[in-house]
Structure 1
Amino acid sequence: MRLLQDLHIFLSTARLGNLTLVAKQLNLTPAATSAAIKRLEQQLGAELFVRSTRSLRLTQAGELFLSHCQPGVEQIELGMQLVQQGREQLCGELRLAMPSDLGRNLLLDWLDQFNQLHPGLSLRLSVTDRMTDLYKEPLDAAIRYGQPADSGMVALVLSGSNHRVLCAAPSYLERYGAPAAPADLSQHHCLRFALKDSTHSNWTFYRQQQTETVVIQGGSVADDGDVVRRWLVSGRGIGFKSLLDVSEDILAGRLVPMCTDWQGEAAPLHLLVPGRSQLTPVIQALRQFLSERLQQQLQLVLELIAASGTVDR
């Protein structure tokens, strides 16, 4: 379906504002992406983008079209998947725990799509940063960052390449500037996450053969990852967040990554189950479904960061 491909190109262009980057992401030529936008504009009888030598931005007509295009494309693709899958649906109750920030702002929409693909399933979600006990609590699986402390737990990799990234809102950077290197964080207001009695205060960065750990003192602390993210977006300070947690904010321009010539701490994401007997068809299907979307999300935000370069103070 050429129209569906053209709509995908439009959505990617609206998000990235760069036809060359869109072409690379979709494995097309810049000429093909440009032609797709022109076809849509001809069909609509309106310009969708204001073009400059370096970037594109949506026109008023483009903003209106975008608001209707995104949900329309999602529904078309969902319908295609349902037809292709036929009537062989998974069923039963899926009891799943997941982190507050990632769960609310990224996974929830995907889980709704997964549920639509398998309407025989019912979801029971526990959205919390508390480390749930899969042996004692009525849960089938948990989505968690890092390696499980219990070696008997089965950890299925959802995103092994995820890592932490320094980020702040444009409003914060306008007032205080950006750190040129991790060592400059002592001059900034930093926002931290706490789990039980442990506060994540040692922020570690890697560059080639270098390793630098900065001990963060003072600043605001919350035991809910989504609270830290909301503080960041409101311009209250700098955070060291999982890239997946803030991917949508970075793509939308609400947060800006900094010191990107340094690699933040690894933050692999796993789907945990108590044992191999719990690796049911539902869990296997969920793992495949989420892995694909997480990989696409990471690739999209990493390409944007690479194209944008490091923010200088």
Structure 2
Amino acid sequence: MKGFAELDAAIAVARRGSFRAAAVDLDMSTTALSHAVARLEGRLGVRLFNRTTRSVAPTEAGRALVARAAPALQELREAMEAARAQGAAPSGTLRINSAPGAAREMLDPLALEFLRRHPQMRLDIVTEGRLVDIVAEGFDLGVRPADLAPAEMIATPFGRPLRHAVVASPDYLAGRTPPRIPQDLLAHPCIRVRLPNGALYRWAFEKAGERLALEVDGPLTVDEAGLARRAALAGVGIGYLHAFEVEEALASGRLVRLLEDWTPELPGLRLYHPGRRNPSAGLRAFLDLARELAAGRAPGA
């Protein structure tokens, strides 16, 4: 937004710790970004960043400026967007952070239908396995399964209920006795998944009122569902993923589902965002469409 460019540049550099990464976020050249920060430093008469050939770190003055300017700029933008939204169609860019599998679930019908309805909007979807602070990282919206949506955020349900799927490749199962109950998994090599907080995920099961969580063992630990799926397809061991992550592999027979009667339905995805007083017109329109689709109304109705 005009008039905020130099402050935006400083905030992006502080957030990313890199001029190059900040320039990509702001869709400008590294040289232009560096000049914008230098102009701001010249106007303030103080150095905001300590630069070396390998690193960039904010000075004390830089940290203080970013800590106060970032929320103030966000408040100004929200106020201006709220005023603009009174008579204008949603426009601008909505930045969304999502787990890769959740993004695939959201893309069609929600994201693509949103772009069809609001041609002046752009969506910038960033997928990653780790759970990020969407406010600190400059995102408008996060998308994660219900159990991973931060409790302090406003969450909007979206999509079908989720189920976990215990899967293995036919090659892995050849010559082996498949597990009949969850405890049988303790005798199999399993593909373990590390959560964003660093803890190992315990495989949860439920049947006829009986609940248990197993800490499985195996030769491979990953922190992203796509890696676990690839390892299961390669026959490394048994995997435990959201069912939507392995639908195609199950349909094609490249993976076999196990212990299906022990994996009941769970709440679906959540679109979450901070409780701002003046959400942008684009964010409101996106959430309204999510609610419309969740209520079962067809796109375009």
Same fold (TM over 0.5): yes
Higher alpha-carbon deviation: 123-132 or 285-294: 285-294
Write the deviation string for residues 2-41 of structure 1: whole angstroms up to 9, x where unpaired: xxxxxxxxxxxxxxxxxxxxxxxxxxxxxxxxxxxxxxxx
Structure 1 equivalent of residue 136 of structure 2: 136
Write the deviation string for residues 88-111 of structure 1: whole angstroms up to 9, x where unpaired: 9743201000003433x5445653
Measured after TM superposition, the shift of residue 207 of structure 1 is 0.6
Write the deviation string for residues 120-152 of structure 1: whole angstroms up to 9, x where unpaired: 221222211121112212111000123467543
Is the contact made by 2:144 and 2:269 (CA closer than 8 Å) also made in structure 1? Answer: yes
Structure 1 equivalent of residue 191 of structure 2: 191
Measured after TM superposition, the shift of residue 184 of structure 1 is 0.7
Rg (Cα) greater in structure: 2
Is the contact made by 1:106 and 1:245 (CA closer than 8 Å) also made in structure 2? Answer: no
Distance between the aligned counterparts of 1:234 and 1:288, measured in 2? Answer: 41
Measured after TM superposition, the shift of residue 169 of structure 1 is 2.3
Check 1:269–1:279 CA distance in 2 against 1; reply closer, same or farther (3 A cut): farther
**3-state SS of 1:228 partner:** helix
Higher helix content, 1 or 2: 1
Check 1:228–1:271 CA distance in 2 against 1; reply closer, same or farther (3 A cut): same
Check 1:227–1:278 CA distance in 2 against 1; reply closer, same or farther (3 A cut): farther
**3-state SS of 2:260 partner:** coil
Check 1:117–1:237 CA distance in 2 against 1; reply closer, same or farther (3 A cut): farther
Structure 1 equivalent of residue 206 of structure 2: 206
Measured after TM superposition, the shift of residue 289 of structure 1 is 5.2
Check 1:179–1:295 CA distance in 2 against 1; reply closer, same or farther (3 A cut): farther
Distance between the aligned counterparts of 1:204 and 1:288, measured in 2? Answer: 33
Structure 1 equivalent of residue 225 of structure 2: 225
Structure 2 equivalent of residue 73 of structure 1: none
Check 1:97–1:201 CA distance in 2 against 1; reply closer, same or farther (3 A cut): closer
Distance between the aligned counterparts of 1:273 and 1:200, measured in 2? Answer: 26
State the AA in 2 paired with 1:122.
Answer: R
Measured after TM superposition, the shift of residue 291 of structure 1 is 7.0
Write the deviation string for residues 37-90 of structure 1: whole angstroms up to 9, x where unpaired: xxxxxxxxxxxxxxxxxxxxxxxxxxxxxxxxxxxxxxxxxxxxxxxxxxx974
Structure 1 equivalent of residue 71 of structure 2: none
- Structure 1 segments unaligned to the other structure (5+ residues): 1-87, 297-313
Pairing 1:239–2:239 present: yes
Pairing 1:261–2:266 present: no
- Percent identical: 26
- Structure 2 segments unaligned to the other structure (5+ residues): 1-87, 297-301
Check 1:123–1:261 CA distance in 2 against 1; reply closer, same or farther (3 A cut): same
Distance between the aligned counterparts of 2:295 and 2:249, measured in 1? Answer: 17
**3-state SS of 1:162 partner:** coil
Pairing 1:163–2:186 present: no
Number of residue pairs the alignment of both structures matches: 208
Is the contact made by 2:102 and 2:144 (CA closer than 8 Å) also made in structure 1? Answer: no
- Give the alignment of 1:1-313 within 5 angstroms: 90-103=90-103, 105-108=104-107, 110=109, 111-112=111-112, 114-147=114-147, 150-159=150-159, 161-196=161-196, 198-263=198-263, 266=266, 268-275=268-275, 277=277, 280-287=280-287
Distance between the aligned counterparts of 1:267 and 1:128, measured in 2? Answer: 21
Distance between the aligned counterparts of 1:217 and 1:268, measured in 2? Answer: 27
Check 1:116–1:177 CA distance in 2 against 1; reply closer, same or farther (3 A cut): farther
State the AA in 2 paired with 1:190.
Answer: C
Measured after TM superposition, the shift of residue 295 of structure 1 is 10
Higher alpha-carbon deviation: 216-225 or 271-280: 271-280
Check 1:150–1:234 CA distance in 2 against 1; reply closer, same or farther (3 A cut): closer
TM-score by length of 2: 0.58
Distance between the aligned counterparts of 2:278 and 2:190, measured in 1? Answer: 40
Is the contact made by 1:142 and 1:271 (CA closer than 8 Å) also made in structure 2? Answer: yes
Is the contact made by 2:188 and 2:218 (CA closer than 8 Å) also made in structure 1? Answer: no
